[in-house]
């Protein structure tokens, strides 16, 4: 029995590893990298390579190196650099403030010094904690404020105790540098760039909407089956927080791959916002798909042509810009599709302006009218998304696709997802 | 000039403090609480109250207490307890694993021991890092895995160096307990409960949708002006991540206020999801509001009555459940409103089934038909939200409102927002 359970547990664990690793093998690589970074750092202190001696007390320095590696080593380069920079500056500032507080209060007697010190610690901790609530600073510098509190409290108390502060600071800094160096080396093996992830995520989200719109015409007008992948747009609606954190990480990253210095990371938030707006309209459209009221077949036949055209052309335009983004080329094929979608809108308006048919009830017209109207809104949203991607192309100087790229793009299978 | 700039800086800072404090005064209280907690903990080590002596090296123990307070003291009680529990168990488990690894490898010679130790550190760090990628564990136990890595690495290396491990562990544990005690005391002064925040957030979100729907009828059918507060629904769409983290914190919290043990916190995610679905439809409705195409006045007049009724009754139903949630009473007034909204749907269908009017074009019907159809979807969504809040009332045994509460509820100004 117990053996069975152990077997099942092992099976469950390995299934999970396979699942998570299958979705993103870099996660397994990252876990290995952290292991690889921890082992040598630990051994340095095991062998006492820096001759700290055993008397310094309980692996004080080992701790700093191990701590640095464990805390600073994040999944993406941007997050790692961000944490490292915040940690470094916070330690320096907190240390300087601590020494300053000590010097400023040392002229007084023992009791009044302690009262003053307590007040200064109270004040600095309070201010730093409040800093964590400022939305802009929270996103990028939350860790900075945390480390300030820790370092300042420690230094302000320690200096008084007459230890060799400078020597301690030097040793500690050296140890932290050992930690940083290890992290840096390991980061460079199979690096995960937050910027690349953000770029892929935003492009994939656009592609997800295209997938829905591609399937919609066939599904609504009864020539196809609703496919599972059409539901993917729900994830797009919820992607705001992950986009925001990736933007914050990406800003720390140096030039990499096809991303230059000062790549306009902020602009991805705009594209993301417009994509989510479009996804919301698609959600309403999906409501029409699932509704019982489908309206009369006759009227659906009337609008079928224009609606299918709108949804197909929007899908093509979005696919084009998504592919263009992934290849980092200026997509010139998207605009004609948007134009054709807009032409289909005009066309639909013509169809709808024809006198009303025979004995149709307004209730029968309702579903078709809703779908038509939502699709018109979606065409406008698509145009916005396409424009914002074009803006990105201009801001980040995407290449114009040459002939060879064109052929490749057209023949690309739509396997972005 | 410089003085001017300093003046402006001070002005900007104080304006920000007033703004953040005005939105949520508890943030300022929290900053003060952290300051109050840090001061005595620092002074304990300043005065060497526990007689660690100055020889133990560089404020080793002070650091643990200061670290504990700074890291564990979070804004809400749930987050603080969660971090504290994760930290404690991770330290114990990491320490035990470290001692175990040391014992298991100590039989071998110096070189082979170091190799084995390096391998074990590599393995444990890798596994713990991978654990941080498992979605369920990441949400609640991210910090656990981090501390395991730190503690294990430290203990595995330290034990070899022949220090008095047990004595160190005891002192460290005592120091950490001092930190926890301080945090606990400070937590209890003006506590911020994540559960209460979650409850208020979900109720407020429902109320925000009600505000939009309340204003919609007047706005669309041209009897009112679009008010700024109607745009609030956008925040509802983006509230998923904050709801999820509040649920994770709330689960750590003991009984408080009107929340019993085992309050169904998970259920708030369901209410939140249904609220966001409704918000998405409202976004599409808002698109109709901003659209140029308003359709013919005649047709809008035809559907005006039923549409205004639907939107008003939905608004009332949502307001009712939001107020009921806030007061933690079972709202019995919401259902009649839902019923009336559903009756208005039937009514609208009747209106729409009448033969089509004179020379109307289908294009003229489009906007009104879309609004009608979206409102029908919203009525369905509202019914879902109301049902899910009723479920919450059953699960968490909300009181039935008595007569006095009724009167209070009806007379309550709608100032939840």
Query: Could you read off the pLDDT of B359-386 as tens digits, one per residue?
Result: 667 777 778 888 888 898 899 999 999 9
- Is there a single domain that holds both residue A154 and residue A260? no
- Is there a single domain that holds both residue A85 and residue A208? no
C-alpha B23/C-alpha B218 separation (Å) is: 30
Which percentage of chain B shows pLDDT scores above 90? 26
Tell whether B290 lies on the interface with A, counting CB pairs under 8 A: no
Task: Tell me chain B's radius of gyration from C-alpha atoms.
Answer: 30
- Is there a single domain that holds both residue B262 and residue B129? no
Q: What is the ipTM of this complex?
A: 0.84
pLDDT at residue A387, rounded to an integer: 93
Lowest mean pLDDT among B128-142, B143-157, B357-371: B357-371
Lowest mean pLDDT among A252-261, A314-323, B25-34: A252-261
What's the whole-number average pLDDT of chain A?
A: 82
Tokens 């003006």 identify what position?
B190
- Is there a single domain that holds both residue B118 and residue B101? yes
- Give strand ranges (E) for B194-284: none
Structural domain range at position A92: 21-187
Lowest mean pLDDT among A42-46, A269-273, A367-371, B85-89: A42-46
Report yes or no on B413 lying in a domain.
no
Report yes or no on B368 lying in a domain.
yes
Report yes or no on B409 lying in a domain.
no
Cβ pair B366:A354 closer than 8 A: no
- Check if the beta carbon of residue B382 is closer than 8 Å to that of residue B318: yes
CATH number for the domain harbouring residue A290:
1.20.58
**Which residues of B fall within a CB distance of 8 Å from A43?**
114, 117-118, 157
Tell whether A240 lies on the interface with B, counting CB pairs under 8 A: yes
- Is there a single domain that holds both residue B157 and residue B228? no
Tell whether B170 lies on the interface with A, counting CB pairs under 8 A: no
Query: Which has more pLDDT, B172 or B159?
Result: B172
Cβ pair B158:A59 closer than 8 A: yes
**Contacting residues for A208 by C-beta, under 8 A, at least 6 apart:** A232, A233, A235, A236, A417
Q: Can you read off the two tokens belonging to residue A71? A: 């805390």
Query: Which has more pLDDT, B402 or B231?
Result: B231
Out of B153, B171, B187, a domain closes at: B187
pLDDT at residue A413, rounded to an integer: 43
- The arithmetic mean of pLDDT across residues B5-24, rounded, is 87
Report yes or no on A109 lying in a domain.
yes
Is the pLDDT at B150 greater than 90, yes or no? Answer: no
- Is there a single domain that holds both residue B122 and residue B143? yes
What phi-psi label fits residue B58: left (phi over 0), alpha (psi between -120 and 50 degrees) or beta? left
Report yes or no on B382 lying in a domain.
yes
pLDDT at residue A372, rounded to an integer: 86
Query: Could you read off the pLDDT of A275-303 as tens digits, one per residue?
Result: 999 998 898 888 888 777 667 777 788 88
- Is there a single domain that holds both residue A124 and residue A166? yes
pLDDT at residue B404, rounded to an integer: 43
Number of domains chain A contains? 2
**Which residues of B fall within a CB distance of 8 Å from A142?**
none
Query: Could you read off the pLDDT of A323-353 as tens digits, one per residue?
Result: 999 888 887 888 999 999 999 999 888 887 7
- Is there a single domain that holds both residue B181 and residue B243? no
- Is there a single domain that holds both residue A136 and residue A199? no
Report yes or no on A404 lying in a domain.
no
Angstroms from B238 CA to nearest CA on chain A: 7
Q: Can you read off the two tokens belonging to residue B414? A: 């709608």
C-alpha A99/C-alpha A44 separation (Å) is: 30
**B201: nearest Cα among B139, B265, B254, B277:** B265
C-alpha A233/C-alpha A225 separation (Å) is: 17
- Is there a single domain that holds both residue B160 and residue B223? no
Tell whether B122 lies on the interface with A, counting CB pairs under 8 A: yes
Give the containing element (helix H, strand E) for B256.
none
Query: Could you read off the pLDDT of B204-238 as tens digits, one per residue?
Result: 999 999 999 988 888 888 765 666 677 888 889 88
Which percentage of chain A shows pLDDT scores above 70? 86
Report yes or no on A406 lying in a domain.
no
Banded pLDDT at B70 (limits 50, 70, 90): confident
Query: Could you read off the pLDDT of B187-212 as tens digits, one per residue?
Result: 888 888 999 999 999 999 999 999 99
Nearest to B365 among A162, A365, A374 (CB): A365
Out of B187, B204, B223, a domain closes at: B187
Out of A135, A156, A187, a domain closes at: A187
Banded pLDDT at B408 (limits 50, 70, 90): very low
Lowest mean pLDDT among A76-90, A149-163, A321-335: A149-163
pLDDT at residue B407, rounded to an integer: 42
C-alpha B201/C-alpha B265 separation (Å) is: 13
Report yes or no on B234 lying in a domain.
yes
Is the pLDDT at A228 greater than 70, yes or no? Answer: no
- Is there a single domain that holds both residue A183 and residue A198? no
- Is there a single domain that holds both residue B223 and residue B180? no
């Amino acid at each position: 029995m117990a053996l069975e359970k152990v077997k099942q547990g092992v099976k469950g664990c390995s299934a999970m590893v396979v699942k998570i690793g299958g979705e993103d093998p870099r996660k397994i690589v990252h876990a290995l990298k952290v292991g690889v970074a921890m082992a040598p750092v630990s051994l340095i202190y095991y062998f006492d390579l820096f001759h700290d001696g055993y008397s310094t007390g309980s692996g004080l320095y080992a701790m700093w190196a191990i701590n640095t590696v464990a805390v600073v080593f994040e999944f993406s380069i941007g997050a790692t650099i961000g944490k490292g920079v915040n940690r470094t500056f916070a330690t320096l500032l907190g240390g300087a403030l601590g020494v300053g507080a000590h010097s400023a209060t040392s002229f007084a007697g023992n009791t009044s010094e302690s009262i003053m010190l307590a007040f200064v610690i109270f004040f600095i901790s309070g201010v730093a904690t409040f800093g964590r609530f400022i939305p802009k600073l929270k996103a990028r510098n939350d860790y900075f404020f945390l480390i300030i509190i820790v370092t300042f409290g420690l230094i302000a108390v320690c200096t008084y105790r007459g230890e060799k502060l400078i020597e301690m600071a030097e040793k500690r800094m050296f140890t932290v540098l050992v930690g940083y160096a290890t992290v840096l080396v390991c980061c460079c093996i199979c690096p995960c760039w937050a910027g690349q992830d953000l770029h892929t995520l935003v492009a994939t989200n656009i592609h997800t909407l295209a997938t829905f719109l591609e399937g919609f015409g066939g599904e609504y007008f009864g020539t196809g089956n609703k496919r599972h992948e059409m539901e993917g747009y729900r994830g797009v609606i919820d992607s705001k927080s992950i986009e925001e954190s990736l933007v914050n990480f990406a800003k720390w990253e140096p030039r990499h791959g096809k991303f230059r210095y000062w790549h306009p990371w902020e602009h991805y938030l705009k594209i993301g916002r417009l994509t989510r707006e479009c996804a919301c309209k698609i959600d309403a459209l999906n409501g029409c798909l699932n509704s019982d009221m489908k309206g009369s077949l006759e009227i659906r036949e009337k609008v079928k042509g224009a609606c299918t055209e709108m949804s197909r052309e929007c899908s093509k335009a979005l696919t084009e810009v998504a592919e263009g983004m992934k290849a980092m080329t200026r997509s010139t094929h998207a605009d004609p599709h948007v134009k054709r979608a807009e032409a289909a809108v005009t066309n639909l308006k013509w169809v709808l302006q024809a006198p009303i048919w025979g004995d149709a009830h307004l209730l029968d017209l309702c579903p078709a009218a809703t779908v038509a109207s939502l699709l018109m809104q979606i065409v406008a949203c698509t145009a916005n998304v396409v424009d914002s991607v074009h803006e990105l192309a201009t801001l980040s100087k995407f290449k114009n696709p040459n002939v060879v790229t064109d052929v490749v793009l057209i023949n690309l299978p739509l396997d972005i997802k």
